Structure 1
Amino acid sequence: RGDPTEGALLVAAAKAGLDKEELCRQYPRVDEIPFTAETKKMTTIHRAAGGELIAYSKGAPEVVLESCKSIHLGGVEKELDVADRRRVLGIAQQMAEAALRVLGVAYKRLPENTLEAADSDMVFLGLVGMIDPPREEAKDAVRLCEQAGIKSVMITGDHKLTAVAIAKELGLLKGGIALSGEEMDRISDEEFERIVERVEVYARVSPAHKLRVVEALAKKGHVVAMTGDGVNDAPALRKADIGVAMGITGTGVSKEAADMVLTDDNFASIVAAVEEGRGIFDNIKKYLMYLLSSNLGEVLLMAVAILFGPLIGLPYGAIPLIAIQILFVNLVTDGLPAIALSVDPPAPDIMQRKPRPRGQGVFTMPVVVLIMVGGVWSCLVNLGIFKWALDAGKTMIEAQCLCFLTLIMIQFFKAYNFRSERHSVFKLGFFRNKWLNLAVGSQILLMLVIIYVPVFQDVFHTYPLDSFDWLVSLLLSLSIFPVLELSKLILQRLKIS
């Protein structure tokens, strides 16, 4: 728990034989100047055994060095001249290029026990380098983001060279621009907006810079997610389309301002959330396509039979389904199969698609076309089998039973087709969604009870179907597969989205 940088310093001290508890007893802390993104350093004041106050600073090497006028070399203090400054900054640069997070350390004995100017005119002690290697899963997450059309940008308080080295290791920096906060301050908003889409690394930035990045990207029409953990990150988190706060290291203010909190502070969790979100959105589409297409088919079937029955050769007053059959159809097809589609496994390419446009809803052109095609074909097939049965000399009850069976089966088959509006059902397979298979199987058993158990036959207008009746009904029901598959193929060829 706690800040990882502080933890690394404690470990380094322990390895050097320094005991934290003993040092705290000998040099109790009496005050501190906390770290801020603006000052980029932290100073603590401690009381020595003789009552003397000593200030210790750590922070960005160039900032700490700027506050020093002396340097501790070979056990003695000497004036910090220009050559010393260049040498220290050169060493810090070499360490940063090796992907080390570098801190400068300094101290000052406070004259007359005063706290004024505690962090100025200090004595430079040296540099501390620590490596914070990227998590292995972070590299995979960055690669997955790239496949999904999501651009990942590094924004850090580390030195620019450190940030560049880590970004290259992660695969974030691929010929783009790396900017420091100081460089951002020197360019105008108009110039920054021109280059913001090419910037891949931001280093030594403050929360104000984060807000500026969010605003610039938003003006370009991008959907922006921003991470943050500090109090001052709240404006950027609030301004972003999706503010993401750190659950472990984040402050309460940042969590309140964010839309999402990472419980493990892991970038890979953001990518997993994107994948989960895409899967949920896809399943909403599947659920709606299936229900609307099925209900459209039922409405068209009854409306055409009632309004235009005699014109298409049906006996006057003949209806394909009675009320209780319609209710049963809705019970077995709109219930469990629809719920099963809402938990359908994500498509294999779900993280290889580009993000959908900001204003795009569920009812895209392919979705609407498939709903219409499925509904109209269902109406035509069921009207056809109803008329065929009557023309073949079957009774009204037998014709209604055949229509009843065919309507249920065609809707079950549509459930498999609507597992994707772009991929063939034969590519997705019939067995990946076990809940859909269980739902369809259980409802077919319930339908068989209605058809073959005598006590239900009079109520539901059913009769014991023979093998020929089943063959005709299943062949016509299966016709929905080629119809919808051909529709998907045409939509893909026309590149309609």
Structure 2
Amino acid sequence: MPGHTLFSLSTEQAVLQLRANAEQGLSTVEAVERQKQSGFNQLTEAAPEPAWKRLFRQFQDLVIWILIAAAVISGLLGEWVDTLAILAIVVLNGVIGFLQEQHAELAMSALKKLSAPTAKALRDGVLQSLPARELVPGDIIEIEAGDNVPADVRLLKAFSVSVQEATLTGESTSVEKEADVVLPAETQLGDRRNMVHMGTILTTGKASGMVAAIGMETELGQIAGMLARHELELTPLQKRLAKLGQVLIGVCLAIVALIFALQVMRGGSLLEALLVSVSLAVAAVPEGLPAVVTITLALGLQRMVKRKALVRKLPSVETLGSVSVICSDKTGTLTRNEMTVKAIVTSSKSYQVTGGGYAPRGDFYQTSDSTLVDDEALPKVARTVNPETDLDLRLALKIGAWCNGAQVAPQSDGDGVWQVIGDPTEGALVVAAMKGGLSPSARSGEITYELPFDSNRKIMSVVVREPGGTSLYTKGAPESVLARCDRIHRWGVAEPLSEDDRRRVLASSISLSSQALRVLGVAYGPDPREPGSTDLERELVFCGLVGMIDPPREEVKTAIATCRSAGIRPVMITGDHPATALAIAKQLGLTTGPEHLLAGQELAQMTDADLAGVIHDISVYARTTAEHKLRIVRAWKSRGDVVAMTGDGVNDAPAVRAADIGIAMGITGTDVTKEASDMVLLDDNFASIVSAVEEGRGIYDNIQKALVFLLSCNCGEILLMLGASLLGWPAPLLPIQLLWINLVTDGLPALALSFEPPEPGVMNHPPRQANESILSRKLGIAILFQGLLVGLVGLLAFGLSLRHRPDDVDRARAMAFCVLVYAELFRALGARSQTLTLRQLGFWKNPHLLLAILVSGLLQVSVAIVPFTGRVFDVPPHTWSEWGTIILLALTPLIVVELVKELRQVIHVDHVITPDGVTS
């Protein structure tokens, strides 16, 4: 294929061979045509497991086979009605399990599609973000440090690029790449320095290139058997529940064996005792619990997506409920990430820029100092400036425009809204330059070399060849840029940089930062003699400061307050100036003063023990590096806290990976950070983290609710059968009745509890302990208590009917049968919460549960009143007085449970949660 040999061609020849356009990219029409020919850029997955195999798997449990054997024995003895009914229920139960599993897989598949990677491609002359699967050969794309390479790509430009190719070549160290080399046709994969391949990761630098091959035509795609069928990942919770199920099976079988022995000793039929015991064993084991848990997780994850949080790893759902600390970046997470340049300070003057957002409309005003004035008041107190005639201002805007990888363009819907493709900070610089008449698309010259931003250097530079010569342009943190300067640009001339100049620049930087502006310094240098040198950024000329505003998100202040009421400690970690960080933190209610702030320079001088000792007192960290973030996470974890950590850049990946919940930014985050994360914020918003924690708590609560409901139902059936055996009574339920109860009560109602929204007040109690058992002592007592209630009303119904009609055992069984079913269905309403009453929750808040109860209830009514089903289940017609008794007894467990909740609320003493998460 041509794509596999482009490394042996020059960049110009490669572009011609694929009929591409390096400046404009492909047109949308051409891209569609090529996609028809080449297909989508995706790897072929193995065929999914056939449906018949998944259906057959529902009948592989030992107890099911025992039940089928018992049904066959019944048939051989002439009990054909029982045989057919039991087999029908077994098949129906298997079909329901199959549908539940199918629903869970579809839900998880939908979530997987949401996390599909994206790529930045040049289409119709505009850089666009589009799904990586839509790339076609000939597309021009841009990639930078932290990105996964989305296809096999022939590099056209590369600046300090190195790539991790271990997935293809096994080489553990990164490989340097360059675009301009032409290699022999026989060059092996690991030596193709002008190519990057699908599945590899850009570890440093920035590049543009042309897609050479996609999908199965890539080098990765041609590795045989590289992608096996994805198996659904079991969470630690699901594994613990599986072990719990094994214990319950053992306990249930022991009780069932006891009941079998008691029934035989009472003189009952051996076959009847066997059928009853086997049916009770089937009913007692909560075989539907794994499906309920999986669906609860899947539905919860879908609810999280609606709240802009995509969980990539299922175990994270459990961990979310235990989060006690959230360490968050500032820009874009706590703030709106809508950067707008508001102030520019040069050596000679101060300016303020009007206009907001990314629309390139606004004016420049000269002000007396760096103090901001409302845009409306500016014309009264300042005069306008023409950037085209002000040399110092024009140079500052020009440097910002060149040190840039972002593009600004109006949205395609034509509503006048402009958007940024790329980093919002760089987008703000582009917009400011466009306001000053410096459109990047109209500039003359080209970038010949680039030193990308580095979190340790805190600056980035480009070497630009222009008609008037070649220059180095630099932007970054003011103190970092200033440290590399020995001159200052004043009135269009480079002069020596004095100590007074340095003090004035730093004072202006602090002044702007204290007004919640993010501040960058800009500088330039002479034509570098050795463009490949790593020591270019020295002896520079300082040109000025650029201050941009990124206002706090309005919803974040409420989210932080919610964190405090939930016993969660919010912490800001940013690379911005301490004054900027402190100003934003105060606005958000994160802190009240500088005593809660720690700068990266101070942190670097601390030992890990010192940091762990003071970390509880610090709410804001400024001027931090990737290493600082990692140390902060480890310090919190050393205290036993469960830590969530946000990140976007490749340097954040170690801290994100080290956290209990690593959170990547969905908009600005690099692929490497996303791969290292457990969760991706689709809107880069701190409030979405808090929403995810709330949903995580709700998911865990719903699993516990389903567990309590299922086990107490099963417990009630066992206690009913055991109580009757101990009293010497006949078996109060027939095998087919036991199986039917298991079908109508353990199926739809338990599943409907998955749809229960998080309880009111779920964020008003401290985080759950990470090592807390899913079946706590408190829940165990609730299961026994509610199971006892259900068993007692069933036993009471059976006993009252026998007392009234001693010779009519079938009627007594029918009474116990109906009371048990309705009691468990009514009790599902109370299972919505262990603490809140139905009145407090709102009767209509979970319509899925009401529908499930209605459907199951109507099925039970049909069993009781339809003549044919009545004969199958041995249920004679009830009188009106019997129906009254059934309803009254069936409501009793729900009423008692609700009254107990009311009583507990009356005598309960509320715990007060302090901002630090301490209860008192």
Q: Counterpart of 2:799?
A: 387
Aligned to 2:631, the other structure's residue is in SS state: helix
Q: Counterpart of 2:689?
A: 270
Q: Counterpart of 1:191?
A: 610
Structure showing greater relative contact order (alpha-carbon pairs closer than 8 Å, 6 or more residues apart): 2
Q: Counterpart of 2:451?
A: 33
> Is there any run of 5+ residues in structure 1 with no aligned partner, and where?
none
Give the 5 Å matches for 1:254-269. Answer: 254-269=673-688
Q: Quick check: 1:237 aligned with 2:649? A: no
In 1, Cα distance between the equivalents of 2:592 and 2:781? 41
Q: Quick check: 1:251 aligned with 2:670? A: yes
Percent identical pairs in the alignment equals: 47
Q: Quick check: 1:283 aligned with 2:702? A: yes
Aligned residues of 1:69 and 1:80 also touching (Cα < 8 A): yes
Structure 1 residue 491: Cα displacement = 6.0
**Which deviations, in whole Å up to 9, do the C-alpha atoms of 1:401-449 show, x marking residues without a partner?**
1111111111112111111111122322322211111111122221121
In 2, Cα distance between the equivalents of 1:194 and 1:144? 26
Pairing partner for 1:143 from 561, 573, 576: 561
Pairing partner for 1:90 from 503, 507, 520: 507
Aligned to 1:367, the other structure's residue is in SS state: helix
Pairing partner for 1:421 from 806, 817, 834: 834
Aligned residues of 2:521 and 2:545 also touching (Cα < 8 A): yes
Counterpart of 2:767, as a letter, is P
Aligned to 2:727, the other structure's residue is in SS state: helix
Structure 1 residue 270: Cα displacement = 1.7
In 1, Cα distance between the equivalents of 2:891 and 2:531? 89
**Which deviations, in whole Å up to 9, do the C-alpha atoms of 1:152-197 show, x marking residues without a partner?**
1111111010011111112222456111110101222222111111
In 2, Cα distance between the equivalents of 1:29 and 1:441? 70
TM-score between the two structures when normalised by the length of structure 1: 0.94
Structure 1 residue 115: Cα displacement = 6.4
Counterpart of 2:502, as a letter, is R
In 1, Cα distance between the equivalents of 2:810 and 2:531? 102
Q: Counterpart of 2:788?
A: 376
Aligned to 2:551, the other structure's residue is in SS state: coil
Q: Counterpart of 1:159?
A: 577
Aligned residues of 1:373 and 1:484 also touching (Cα < 8 A): no
More off after superposition, 261-270 vs 5-14: 261-270
Structure 1 residue 100: Cα displacement = 0.4
Aligned residues of 1:279 and 1:350 also touching (Cα < 8 A): yes
Counterpart of 2:482, as a letter, is L
Q: Counterpart of 1:303?
A: 722
Q: Quick check: 1:121 aligned with 2:539? A: yes
Q: Counterpart of 1:49?
A: 467
In 1, Cα distance between the equivalents of 2:551 and 2:829? 46
Q: Counterpart of 2:520?
A: 103
> Is there any run of 5+ residues in structure 2 with no aligned partner, and where?
1-420, 912-920
Structure 1 residue 233: Cα displacement = 1.3
Q: Counterpart of 2:242?
A: none
In 2, Cα distance between the equivalents of 1:135 and 1:496? 32
Pairing partner for 1:478 from 865, 888, 891: 891
**Which deviations, in whole Å up to 9, do the C-alpha atoms of 1:224-270 show, x marking residues without a partner?**
01111111211111110011111222222111111112222222222
Aligned residues of 1:366 and 1:421 also touching (Cα < 8 A): no
Q: 1:114 to 1:246 in 2, by over 3 A?
A: closer
In 2, Cα distance between the equivalents of 1:324 and 1:495? 47
Q: Counterpart of 2:631?
A: 212
In 2, Cα distance between the equivalents of 1:288 and 1:179? 46
**Which deviations, in whole Å up to 9, do the C-alpha atoms of 1:6-50 show, x marking residues without a partner?**
101001111111121232x2x321112221111011111112324
Give the 5 Å matches for 1:343-354. Answer: 343-354=755-766
**Which protein has the bigger helix share?**
1
Q: 1:127 to 1:389 in 2, by over 3 A?
A: same
Structure 1 residue 212: Cα displacement = 0.1
**Which deviations, in whole Å up to 9, do the C-alpha atoms of 1:55-89 show, x marking residues without a partner?**
11111111111111111112222211111111111
Give the 5 Å matches for 1:166-185. Answer: 166-174=584-592, 177-185=596-604
Cα RMSD for the two superposed structures = 2.0
In 2, Cα distance between the equivalents of 1:407 and 1:112? 89
Q: Counterpart of 1:9?
A: 429
Counterpart of 1:184, as a letter, is L
In 1, Cα distance between the equivalents of 2:694 and 2:710? 24
Q: Counterpart of 1:365?
A: 777
Structure 1 residue 367: Cα displacement = 1.6
Aligned residues of 1:366 and 1:496 also touching (Cα < 8 A): no
More off after superposition, 86-95 vs 65-74: 65-74
**Which deviations, in whole Å up to 9, do the C-alpha atoms of 1:299-342 show, x marking residues without a partner?**
11112212x123xxx4xxx1111111111111111111111112
Aligned to 1:342, the other structure's residue is in SS state: helix
**Which deviations, in whole Å up to 9, do the C-alpha atoms of 1:348-390 show, x marking residues without a partner?**
1122222111111321233211111011111122112211111
In 2, Cα distance between the equivalents of 1:69 and 1:240? 42
Counterpart of 1:474, as a letter, is I
In 2, Cα distance between the equivalents of 1:97 and 1:297? 65
Pairing partner for 1:134 from 530, 545, 552: 552
Aligned residues of 2:522 and 2:544 also touching (Cα < 8 A): yes
Structure 1 residue 3: Cα displacement = 0.6
In 2, Cα distance between the equivalents of 1:138 and 1:110? 46
In 2, Cα distance between the equivalents of 1:3 and 1:114? 25
Q: Counterpart of 1:320?
A: 732
More off after superposition, 107-116 vs 125-134: 107-116
TM-score between the two structures when normalised by the length of structure 2: 0.51
Aligned residues of 1:381 and 1:476 also touching (Cα < 8 A): yes
In 1, Cα distance between the equivalents of 2:778 and 2:896? 14
Q: 1:383 to 1:31 in 2, by over 3 A?
A: same
In 2, Cα distance between the equivalents of 1:349 and 1:111? 62
Aligned to 1:78, the other structure's residue is in SS state: strand
Aligned residues of 2:576 and 2:623 also touching (Cα < 8 A): yes
Q: 1:114 to 1:296 in 2, by over 3 A?
A: closer
Aligned residues of 1:365 and 1:496 also touching (Cα < 8 A): no
